[in-house]
């Protein structure tokens, strides 16, 4: 009898201990960042510290859907690992919502943007901007608009509107977990599930 009571007590204590390790609702809510995109027009970019949200134009969405097909990608193009992408991501667009491309960058103590090279080195952007002209990514791939990182007047990296680079030594722009929720983009940690938003 005592052994049964002891096991029951041990089980109760284990449950309490595990439950105490799980974040409560207040902690979960504090870890979610919301961005109002109702006023963000096509071709416009919103930045809040390390998070960027770009509203693609219909032409850009159509171009990405036609230009990129999986799994037949060129050898030089870095391929996202499915486990690193948010649930429900369209891999051609590299986003959950077709119109909005959400990505993160690293910010240095100088406030400038740093991008990851393939060898995990950081590349500083003195200027990070959007452009709307059609440019070549090489290897018969084009980008209708995109992002330009300028380190110097001679060193420029181009990304299409899905964050794919024109340089095989750079990684695609990093995509955080995100969802469109009632006119806002919610960016949340991987420990949360979409239904918890």
Q: Which of 92, 78, 79, 74 is nearest to 140 (CA)?
A: 74
In which band, very low, low, confident or very high, does the pLDDT at 7 lie, cut at 50, 70 and 90? low
Is the pLDDT higher at 3 or at 141?
141
Q: Residue 54: its pLDDT value, please?
A: 97
Cβ–Cβ under 8 Å, residues 107 and 114: yes
Q: Residue ranges per domain, the chain?
A: 34-196
Residue 1 pLDDT: 53
Residue 56 has a pLDDT of: 96
34-196 has which fold? Rieske Iron-sulfur Protein (2.102.10)
Q: What is the pLDDT of residues 71-114, one digit of tens each?
A: 455 554 555 665 577 888 888 888 999 999 999 888 888 888 88
Rounded alpha-carbon distances, angstroms, from residue 28 to 23, 181, 193: 6, 16, 10
Q: What does the alpha-carbon distance between residue 15 and residue 25 come to, in Å, rounded to a whole number?
A: 18
pLDDT in tens, 149-194: 887 656 788 899 999 888 777 788 889 999 998 889 999 987 777 6
pLDDT tens per residue, range 22-51: 555 545 566 899 999 999 999 999 999 899
Q: What does the block give as tokens for 127? A: 């200027």
Separation between Cα atoms, residue 105 and residue 121, nearest integer Å = 13
Residue 148 sits at φ, ψ, to 5 deg, of -125, 125
């Amino acid at each position: 009898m005592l052994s049964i009571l002891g096991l029951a007590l041990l089980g109760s204590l284990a449950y309490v201990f595990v439950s105490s390790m799980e974040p409560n609702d207040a902690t979960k809510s504090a870890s979610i960042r919301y961005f109002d995109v109702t006023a963000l027009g096509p071709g416009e970019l919103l930045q809040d510290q390390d998070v960027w949200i770009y509203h693609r134009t219909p032409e850009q969405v159509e171009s990405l859907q036609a230009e990129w097909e999986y799994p037949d990608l060129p050898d030089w193009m870095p391929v996202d690992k499915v486990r690193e992408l948010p649930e429900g991501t369209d891999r051609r667009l590299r986003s959950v919502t077709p119109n909005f491309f959400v990505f993160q960058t690293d910010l240095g103590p100088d406030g400038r943007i740093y991008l990851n090279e393939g060898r995990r080195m950081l590349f500083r952007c003195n200027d990070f901007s959007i452009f709307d002209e059609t440019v070549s990514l090489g290897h018969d791939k084009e980008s209708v608009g995109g992002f330009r990182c300028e380190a110097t007047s001679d060193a420029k990296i181009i990304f299409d509107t899905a964050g794919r680079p024109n340089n095989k030594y750079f990684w695609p722009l990093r995509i955080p977990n995100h969802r469109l929720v009632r006119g806002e983009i919610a960016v949340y940690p991987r420990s949360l599930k979409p239904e918890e938003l």
